[in-house]
Structure 1
Amino acid sequence: MSTQGVDLDLELVKKATGEMYQAIENLRLSVKAVDSASDAARAGWKGDANASFVTTSQAWSDESDRLNQKLDELTQATEDATQTILGMDEDAFIPGGGYTSL
Structure 2
Amino acid sequence: MSGEINFQGAEANAAKEEMADAVIAVRITINEVTEAAGAVKRGWQGDANLAFDAVASSWEDEAQRLQGILNQMTETVGDGNTKYQAMEADNEDFFKNAAGTHDRASSPHLTNL
- On whether the aligned pair clears a TM of 0.5, the verdict is yes
CA distance in 2, matches of 1:84, 1:37: 40
Larger helix percent: 2
* SS of alignment partner, residue 87 of structure 2: coil
Aligned length in residues: 89
Please report the RMSD computed on the Cα atoms of aligned residues, expressed in angstroms.
Answer: 1.6
CA displacement, residues 62-101 of structure 1 (integer Å, 9 cap, x when unaligned): 11111111111111101111111221233646xxxxxxxx
Residue number in structure 1 paired with 2:20 = 21
CA distance in 2, matches of 1:78, 1:13: 10
Residue number in structure 2 paired with 1:96 = none
Q: Identity of paired residues, percent?
A: 28
* SS of alignment partner, residue 7 of structure 1: coil
Structure 1 segments, 4+ long, off by >6 Å, are: none
CA displacement, residues 32-51 of structure 1 (integer Å, 9 cap, x when unaligned): 11110011111010111111
CA distance in 1, matches of 2:56, 2:21: 27
CA distance in 2, matches of 1:37, 1:25: 18
CA distance in 1, matches of 2:91, 2:5: 6
CA distance in 1, matches of 2:43, 2:51: 12
Residue number in structure 1 paired with 2:6 = 7
Check whether the contact 1:14–1:82 (CA below 8 A) recurs between aligned residues: yes
Larger Rg: 2
Normalising by structure 2, we get a TM-score of 0.72
Residue number in structure 2 paired with 1:99 = none
1:1-102 equivalent positions in 2, closer than 5 A: 6-90=5-89, 92=91
